């Protein structure tokens, strides 16, 4: 069945260039206007994709997330990330291969290991806090990026602070930072980019990272004590599928890069947004301090979740229809068309979140809390971010540690505006803040048994 013969949802009949301008210049306002006019599923056409469907309703999102993984390919929708992550990344795989990698990667992010990582995150937070200037403005986003990368290198690689950790951190940031500039990720597609020099520079930076990773993979495969280690790297080298097969060097490399980059950049952005919202809301900030003093982690979790609702780091998730027509919501979507549940539009619906622009962590407390189809910062279904629990724990630990030791105030009277950076929705100026007096001394906490 052709796209024209399928029963696609309605959508604007504007030229592709005009629709592209709507996404780039108007963003959420353009999407909300289309939702109100055409309904909860809308077909768009831009200069980057001639036909794709965006979904704005939890019921339709549920149909997509529960759809067959053989028919809905998230890996295909993430193809643009291939040059960075590698084609064997769990984010780029589909069907049985995706499930195999997911099963092998999930155990390190649960149970005893998660408790051990908390101390790592506190230590990384203390290192960053102690570097902050007193009486001068500074941006939180870069320091949150440094913090989360330091924590990931310890939790994923098992690297302690030292020359090896510093060199890998330097090479990773050299590879990632140019891509995080607005719309620079498109340079990774040679078809879309005429800046061959930028592509060649990125490839050289990627090779510099790979040089360290492959050498470390080879060294660790010969280590006798991998089973006694608690880092994710060692767990990946030991993990076996139901046939007893282990991940290849290439697969380990791609999954490490996926965890390092996707795990630290998105969490850092989420933390920067959380502090931006808190510092501009005195009543919520006071209650958060009270919760910390009372040891109330539930409220801290609610603060993090509400921040991710108002300021989702990723605007949407995608599934490319494969094999045959996909039927949902009375529509018929042909193969090759991508379906995108719109995270930020769903998070702003007034029928789901009354007064949606208000920062109210209480929404996530009690029996009426949002469910997995109305709160989507980590996607959903079998493709839900496997590091979601780690990210939420990390954000809670960092939030508590910073507010225990530091009194920050915003440098600007109004909250940050959103800027699209690579695949994330980031604060335009990086969340600029001040601390008027030095932080309190760091008090060590006991290591979990």
For residues 297-321, average pLDDT: 96
Please choose, from the candidates 114, 152, 122, the residue with its C-alpha nearest in 3D space to the C-alpha of residue 398: 122
Looking at residue 82, its pLDDT comes to: 87
Q: Using CA atoms, how far apart are residues 429 and 273, in angstroms rounded to an integer?
A: 11
Looking at residue 141, its pLDDT comes to: 96
For residues 374-380, average pLDDT: 96
For residues 116-143, average pLDDT: 94
- pLDDT band, very low/low/confident/very high, at 123 (cuts 50, 70, 90): very high
Of 168-177, 220-229, 305-314, highest mean pLDDT? 305-314
Q: Which pTM value belongs to this model? A: 0.92
Least confident of 143-147, 262-266, 377-381: 262-266
Instruction: For residue 416, give every residue at least 6 positions away whose Cβ sits within 8 Å of its Cβ, in sequence order, or none.
Output: 273, 276, 427, 428, 429, 430, 431
Is the model more confident about 190 or about 253?
253
Looking at residue 185, its pLDDT comes to: 55
Looking at residue 404, its pLDDT comes to: 96
Residue 93, pLDDT above cutoff 90: yes
> Which pLDDT tens digit goes with each residue over 344-356?
999 999 999 999 9
Token duo for residue 131:
């570097």
Q: Using CA atoms, how far apart are residues 58 and 216, in angstroms rounded to an integer?
A: 44
Strands of the sheet with 72-73, listed across from one edge: 41-44, 52-55, 338-341, 319-321, 72-73
Range list of β-strands (E), 107-161:
138-139
Looking at residue 298, its pLDDT comes to: 96
Q: Which residues pair with 240 in a beta bridge?
A: 246
Looking at residue 179, its pLDDT comes to: 67
- pLDDT band, very low/low/confident/very high, at 111 (cuts 50, 70, 90): low
Is the model more confident about 112 or about 381?
381
Residue 193, pLDDT above cutoff 70: no
CATH code given to domain 16-435: 1.10.630.10
> Which pLDDT tens digit goes with each residue over 158-186?
887 788 888 988 888 888 777 666 555 55
Using N-to-C axis directions, what is the helix angle for 249-279 and 140-152, rounded to 10°? 140
- pLDDT band, very low/low/confident/very high, at 32 (cuts 50, 70, 90): very high
Residue 6, pLDDT above cutoff 70: no
Instruction: Give the long-range contacts of residues 384-390, CB within 8 A, separation 24 or more.
Output: 385/262, 386/90, 386/102, 386/105, 386/106, 386/109, 387/109, 387/259, 387/262, 387/263, 389/109, 389/110, 389/114, 390/109, 390/114, 390/117, 390/155, 390/263
Indicate the burial class of 398 (C-beta count within 10 angstroms; 0-12, 13-18, 19 or more): buried
Token duo for residue 295:
């040891």
Residue 99, pLDDT above cutoff 90: yes
Is the model more confident about 95 or about 165?
95
Residue 95, pLDDT above cutoff 50: yes
Residue 46, pLDDT above cutoff 70: yes
Looking at residue 25, its pLDDT comes to: 87
- pLDDT band, very low/low/confident/very high, at 444 (cuts 50, 70, 90): low
Least confident of 100-114, 377-391, 423-437: 100-114
Least confident of 103-112, 188-197, 292-301, 344-353: 188-197
């Amino acid at each position: 069945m052709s796209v024209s013969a399928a029963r696609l949802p309605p959508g604007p009949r504007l030229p592709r260039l005009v629709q592209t301008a709507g996404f780039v210049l108007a963003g959420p306002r353009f999407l909300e206007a289309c939702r109100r006019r055409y309904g909860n599923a809308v077909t768009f056409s831009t200069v980057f994709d001639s036909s794709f469907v965006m979904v704005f309703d939890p019921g339709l999102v549920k149909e997509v997330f529960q759809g067959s993984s053989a028919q809905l390919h998230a890996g295909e929708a993430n193809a643009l990330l291939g040059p960075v992550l590698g084609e064997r990344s769990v984010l780029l795989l589909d069907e049985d291969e995706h499930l195999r990698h997911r099963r092998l990667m999930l155990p390190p992010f649960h149970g005893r290991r998660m408790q051990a990582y908390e101390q790592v995150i506190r230590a990384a937070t203390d290192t960053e806090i102690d570097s902050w200037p007193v009486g001068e403005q500074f941006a939180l986003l870069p320091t949150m990026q440094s913090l989360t990368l330091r924590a990931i290198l310890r939790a994923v690689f098992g690297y302690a602070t030292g020359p090896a950790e510093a060199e890998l951190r330097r090479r990773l940031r050299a590879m990632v930072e140019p891509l995080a500039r607005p719309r620079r990720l498109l340079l990774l597609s040679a078809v879309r980019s005429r800046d061959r020099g930028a592509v060649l520079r990125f490839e050289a930076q990627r090779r510099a990272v790979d040089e360290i990773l492959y050498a470390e993979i080879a060294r660790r495969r010969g280590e006798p004590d991998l089973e006694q280690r608690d880092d994710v790297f060692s767990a990946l080298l030991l993990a076996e599928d139901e046939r007893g097969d282990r991940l290849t060097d290439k697969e380990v490399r791609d999954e490490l890069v996926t965890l390092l980059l996707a795990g630290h950049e998105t969490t850092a952005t989420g933390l920067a947004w959380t502090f931006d919202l808190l510092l501009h809301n005195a009543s919520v900030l006071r209650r958060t301090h009270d919760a910390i003093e009372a040891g109330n982690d539930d409220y801290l979790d609610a603060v993090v979740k509400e921040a991710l609702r108002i300021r989702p780091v990723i605007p949407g998730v995608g599934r490319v229809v494969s094999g045959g027509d996909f039927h949902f919501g009375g529509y018929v979507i042909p193969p090759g068309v991508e379906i995108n549940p719109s995270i930020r539009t769903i998070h702003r619906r007034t029928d789901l979140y009354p007064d949606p622009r208000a920062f109210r962590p209480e929404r996530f407390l009690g029996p009426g809390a949002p469910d997995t189809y109305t709160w989507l910062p980590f996607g959903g279904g079998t493709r839900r971010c496997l590091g979601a629990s780690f990210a939420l724990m990390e954000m809670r630990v960092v939030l508590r540690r910073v507010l225990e030791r530091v009194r920050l105030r915003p440098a600007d009277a109004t909250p940050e505006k959103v800027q699209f950076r690579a695949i994330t929705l980031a604060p335009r100026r990086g969340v600029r803040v001040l601390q008027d007096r030095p932080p309190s001394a760091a008090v060590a906490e006991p290591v979990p048994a």
